């Protein structure tokens, strides 16, 4: 590298690179364009930025050294797992780095007596259940991406899943965490036990989207595997009818493990993707699963069938085998990716409404779809009112993205007006920052921001996320890499 190149590139960027070289060997310090491409966005690809570098730590000590360096130089960093988040939550900063946590992927301990596991943040969600299976245990939160998403990312966004109605979110299953704060200090939050003493600092950390530090070791609760399952798929003539059936089931006092809804568009996509058959005349299907002891499930399934019979269901399928149950869930969990077969692009929303307003809100979303001429596929966690409308568009057509975003904004504000929330499990990230003041008062947002700045005054950790007045870290067009502009990145 010549003196002229160094001068043009900028001393700060070169100093960062030199210092990172002292922490990471070349194979774990990525700066080439091809290496960085996979880290430019998360699952919400409308936001993209190329970072200065990606580092791949293999120990907590690597993370501490990296975070301290970033604080010293004022360089923003973004912790990242598998990048499956859907709110732009791990989009990098153009003047920052990505800390990729996938190599921290060890299950450190499974304790069948205490029913806990201790894992590193890069462990894949489903791998915890596999490790616990020999002891008759499993890890309950089950996001649709559980075969690829990491527990660190689940913790950052407080992920849920199809069975969160009965078993709760990630926050209900994380008992403790060893965390590197934004200044590089290592602290322990929570404990391995069920009883907490003092302020719930762990509860504050879970769902903080990387703004308060990086978890390097996580203790999770394990549950006994249910003895029995009873899975029913019922067809309905409309989304409203399916939504009303959900309200009736929950109002009855019955607590299924999961209640999910898919509309006709999402059913058609799932059929094309994985071959699941759905009732031909149904405009929506309701998937209800009971689990627990054999005796309890036997009692509850009769009550469930009575509720379905009393609803507007036009067809009912009860899974008779484990294979049929698995196929029903395969269709549901493949729905997001399957929609890619019927639309070049789509936005995924993550709003929440009270269950009593579910049918009404679904009907309103259908009306907005007709009004705008934009197709909306609905597939979501109906039991807790967590909607996932998928807004379909073609980004190659001028103005289509903007129209899709405008419809997305109307749906978000509709849900707020109905007493709901802007996010159930995907987080605020980049996508929903502007709506935070619509949900909370100015004093609440100010308090959140002040709390964050107590830990990270320079907002170095995941800068520009969640808060509406934060510095935007992303552009929809990937900018030229600072090292690449000088022809240097390709030679490093």
CATH code, 23? 3.30.43.10
Residue 291, in any domain of the structure: yes
Taking the C-alpha atoms of residue 77 and residue 183, their distance in angstroms, rounded to an integer, is 12
Which residue, 201, 224, 247, sits at the end of a domain? 224
Q: What is the pLDDT of residue 195?
A: 66
User: What would the mean pLDDT of 223-251 be, rounded to a whole number?
Assistant: 96
Q: Strand 258-263 and strand 376-381: pairing?
A: antiparallel
Helices 239-251 and 358-372 pack at an angle, to 10 degrees, of 160
Q: Is residue 467 part of a domain?
A: no
Q: Do 212 and 272 belong together in one domain?
A: no
What is residue 109's predicted lDDT score, i.e. its pLDDT? Answer: 98
What is the C-alpha to C-alpha distance for residues 190 and 483, in angstroms, rounded to an integer? 42
Residues 310 and 237 in one domain: yes
In whole angstroms, give the CA distance from residue 224 to residue 458.
44
Q: Is residue 440 part of a domain?
A: no
Do 111 and 83 fall into the same domain?
Answer: no
- Average pLDDT for residues 213-221, to the nearest whole number? 97
pLDDT at 6 over 60: no
Report if residue 455 sits inside a domain. Answer: no
Which residue reads 């996010």 in tokens? 423
On whether both 243 and 358 belong to a single domain, the answer is: yes
pLDDT at 27: 97
For residue 481, the model assigns a pLDDT of 41
Per-residue confidence band for 24, with pLDDT thresholds at 50, 70 and 90: very high
Do 272 and 369 sit in the same domain of this protein? Answer: yes
Q: What is the pLDDT of residues 445-474, one digit of tens each?
A: 999 999 999 999 999 999 999 998 655 444
Q: Which of 224, 244, 268 is the last residue of a domain?
A: 224
Q: So what's the pLDDT on residue 193?
A: 63
Residue 60 belongs to some domain of the structure: yes
Query: Are 125 and 96 members of one domain?
Result: no
pLDDT at 476 over 50: no
239 domain-assigned: yes
Domain-embedded: residue 282: yes
Q: Is 419 helix (H, G, I), strand (E, B) or coil?
A: coil
Based on the fold, state whether residues 76 and 180 are members of the same structural domain. Answer: no
Q: Is the model's pTM score more than 0.95? A: no
Residue 152 confidence class, pLDDT cut points 50, 70, 90: very high
Q: Do 64 and 207 share a domain, yes or no?
A: no
Which CATH number fits the domain that encloses residue 346?
Answer: 3.40.462.10
One domain for residues 274 and 393? yes
**486: confidence class by pLDDT, cuts 50, 70, 90:** very low
Q: Does residue 465 lie in a domain region? A: no
Name the packing angle between helices 239-251 and 294-310 (round to 10°). 130
Q: What is residue 12's predicted lDDT score, i.e. its pLDDT?
A: 82
Q: What is the CATH number of the domain that holds 186?
A: 3.30.465.10
Shared domain for 278 and 145, answered yes or no, is: no
Q: Measured between alpha carbons, how far is 54 from 68 in angstroms, rounded to an integer?
A: 16
Number of neighbours of residue 320 by Cβ within 10 angstroms: 9
pLDDT at 482: 40
Q: Residues 256, 383: contact at Cβ < 8 Å?
A: yes
Residues 155 and 258 both lie in one domain: no
Residues 93 and 111 occupy one common structural domain: no
**Full domain range(s) for residue 122:** 107-224
For 472, the 3-state DSSP assignment is: coil
Across the chain, mean pLDDT equals 91
**Number of compact structural domains in the chain:** 3
Residue closest to 419 by CA, chosen among 330, 352, 321: 352
- From 2-6, 20-24, 290-294, the region with the lowest mean pLDDT: 2-6
For residue 27, the cross-strand partners are: none
> Strands, E, within 47-154: which ranges?
53-55, 77-80, 97-100, 107-111, 116-119, 137-138
CB 93, CB 114: distance < 8 Å: no
Percent over 70 (pLDDT), the chain:
92
Identify the domain boundary among 224, 249, 281.
224
- Residue 2 confidence (pLDDT) above 50: no
């Amino acid at each position: 590298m010549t003196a002229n190149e160094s001068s043009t590139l900028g001393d700060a960027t070169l100093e960062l690179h030199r210092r990172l070289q002292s922490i990471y060997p070349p194979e774990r310090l990525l700066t080439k364009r091809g290496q960085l491409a996979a880290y430019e966005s998360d699952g919400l690809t409308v936001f993209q930025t190329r970072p200065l570098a990606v580092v791949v730590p293999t120990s907590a000590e690597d993370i501490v050294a990296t975070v301290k360096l970033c604080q010293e130089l004022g360089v923003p960093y973004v912790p990242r797992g598998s990048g499956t988040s859907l709110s732009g939550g791990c989009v990098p900063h153009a003047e920052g780095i990505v800390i990729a946590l996938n190599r921290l992927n060890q299950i450190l301990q499974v304790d069948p007596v205490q029913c806990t596991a201790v894992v590193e943040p890069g462990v894949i969600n489903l791998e915890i259940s596999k490790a616990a299976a020999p002891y008759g245990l499993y890890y309950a939160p089950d996001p649709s991406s559980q075969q690829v998403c990491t527990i660190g990312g689940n913790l950052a966004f407080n992920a849920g899943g199809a069975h969160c109605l009965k078993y709760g979110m990630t926050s209900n299953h994380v008992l403790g965490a060893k965390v590197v704060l934004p200044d590089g200090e290592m602290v322990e939050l929570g404990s391995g036990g069920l009883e907490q003493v003092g302020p719930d600092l762990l509860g504050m950390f879970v769902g903080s989207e990387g703004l308060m530090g990086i978890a390097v070791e996580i203790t999770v609760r394990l549950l006994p595997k249910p003895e029995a399952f009873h899975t029913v798929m019922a067809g309905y003539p409309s989304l409203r009818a399916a939504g009303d059936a959900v309200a009736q089931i929950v109002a009855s006092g019955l607590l299924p493990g999961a209640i999910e809804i898919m509309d006709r568009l999402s059913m058609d996509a799932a059929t094309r993707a994985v071959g699941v058959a759905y009732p031909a005349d149904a405009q929506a299907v309701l998937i209800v699963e009971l689990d627990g002891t054999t005796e309890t499930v036997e009692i509850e399934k009769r009550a469930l069938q009575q509720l379905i019979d009393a609803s507007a269901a036009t067809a009912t399928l009860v899974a008779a085998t484990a294979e049929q149950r698995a196929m029903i869930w395969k269709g549901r969990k493949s729905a997001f990716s399957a929609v890619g077969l019927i639309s070049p692009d789509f936005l995924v929303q993550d709003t929440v409404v009270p269950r009593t307003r579910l049918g009404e809100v679904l009907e309103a979303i259908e009306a907005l779809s007709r009004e705008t001429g934009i197709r909306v596929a609905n597939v979501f966690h109906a039991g807790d009112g967590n909607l996932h409308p998928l807004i379909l568009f073609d980004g190659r057509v001028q103005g289509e993205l903007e129209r899709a975003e405008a419809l997305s904004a109307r749906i978000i504000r509709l849900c707020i007006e109905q007493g709901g929330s802007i996010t159930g499990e995907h987080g605020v990230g980049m996508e929903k920052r502007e709506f935070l003041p619509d949900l909370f008062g100015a004093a609440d947002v100010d308090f959140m921001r002040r709390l964050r700045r107590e830990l990270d005054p320079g907002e170095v950790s995941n800068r520009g996320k969640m808060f509406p007045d934060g510095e935007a870290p992303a552009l929809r067009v990937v900018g030229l890499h600072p090292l690449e502009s000088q022809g240097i990145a390709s030679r490093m």
